[in-house]
Structure 1
Amino acid sequence: MAEVKDTQGSRPIKFTLTHYRKPEHTHEAFIDWIVNWHLPRAIPIFKKHGILEYKIFTTPSDMNSGLKAMMIEKRPTWSFADFDCFLEYTVPNIEALNNVMSDPDWPAALEQEPDWVDASRSLLSIGYETPYLLSNGDVVNVPGISK
């Protein structure tokens, strides 16, 4: 297996994955499947291997089409991402992510995935999160600007 280099030491790592649903499912049914079937099987494995956070950023088609219509005039050269959701894992290190995928119970958590996910279109990314504007209005990590 190829090695993934952790270039920033002890900072938590963000691992993201986009998912497109299979066309025979609605967006709502797809998200329902993830939350009510997949996650009850996956979360115990995440906890077992020290996953720090897991979030789903859902992208309903009505919001996507509205945004696309608005942005086409403002940014006509931008491409439009039309996936159904963006999964975000925060992990302490690469080993934790590898341990999840190597866990003997992980295949059972993915058992129905081929029926729901168009994996041929999934996109992966890995890196670090750096906040700049916090939900309480504080500005951080920007030289010369504070609160």
Structure 2
Amino acid sequence: MAPQRLLKLTLAHYRNPDCSEEECHRFLTEEYIPKAVEIHQRHSLEIYSYHFTPSPLQNILRSACDRLQNGWTVDDHDLTVDFYFRDIAGLVTVSTDPEFIALQSIEGPFISKKGIVARLGWVETYIADEKPVNLIEGKSQYESYEEASAIQLGL
């Protein structure tokens, strides 16, 4: 049996410019995320995670890119949030939950609504717990692109 892919919605956010990096992190980890976790568990999200990118780390990466001349563009968003779902229906259910919509309304003083970048796709995992997974004799064990597209989109 082929391994199951997960859909991943990633939203890259800037913090409100009137809010410090520290205060934004405090708000998210102490106030927002605990409430969001309760909502997301109710809808059986597989994974819910944040990626914080404070300015000192962005600066380290910029310096490395300049030194290596690798042509990378360093994303300057302050944080990204990742939602992992089994299918599109799960994404729709969470995003239309009235309690989740209400929770998003308290973000304003901390999270900017400008410049949000969204990305939706599926995840294929090839290393887990430091070991190769989902490969046999160098061949991916996931379904073909066509099969995955039909399954993930509910076709």
**TM-score for both structures, normalised by structure 2:** 0.77
> Which residue is equivalent to 2:106?
112
Point out where structure 2 has 5 or more consecutive residues left out of the alignment.
140-155
- Summarize the Cα distance change of 1:135–1:111 in structure 2 as closer, same or farther, 3 Å threshold: same
Query: What is the number of residues matched between the two proteins?
Result: 136
Distance 1:58 1:123 in 2: 15
One-letter identity of the residue aligned with 1:113: E
Point out where structure 1 has 5 or more consecutive residues left out of the alignment.
1-9
1:65 paired with 2:64, answer no
One-letter identity of the residue aligned with 1:77: G
Say whether the 8 Å CA contact 1:51–1:90 is kept in structure 2: yes
* 1:48, distance to aligned residue in structure 2 (A): 1.2
Distance 2:69 2:106 in 1: 38
> Which residue is equivalent to 1:16?
10
Distance 1:82 1:139 in 2: 32
* 1:56, distance to aligned residue in structure 2 (A): 0.7
Residue among 77, 83, 88 paired with 1:83: 77
Residue among 29, 37, 46 paired with 1:35: 29
* 1:131, distance to aligned residue in structure 2 (A): 2.2
* 1:27, distance to aligned residue in structure 2 (A): 1.3
Distance 2:47 2:9 in 1: 10
* 1:136, distance to aligned residue in structure 2 (A): 1.7
CA RMSD of aligned residues (A): 2.0
> Which residue is equivalent to 1:56?
50
**What secondary structure is seen at the aligned counterpart in 1 of 2:8?**
strand
Distance 1:91 1:78 in 2: 29
> Which residue is equivalent to 1:3?
none
**TM-score for both structures, normalised by structure 1:** 0.81
Distance 2:118 2:97 in 1: 20
Distance 1:136 1:110 in 2: 36
Residue among 80, 89, 95 paired with 1:95: 89
One-letter identity of the residue aligned with 1:25: C
One-letter identity of the residue aligned with 1:65: N
* 1:75, distance to aligned residue in structure 2 (A): 2.9
* 1:73, distance to aligned residue in structure 2 (A): 2.3
Say whether the 8 Å CA contact 1:13–1:126 is kept in structure 2: yes
Segments of 4+ moved more than 4 angstroms: none
Distance 2:77 2:57 in 1: 12
Give 1 or 2: higher strand fraction.
2
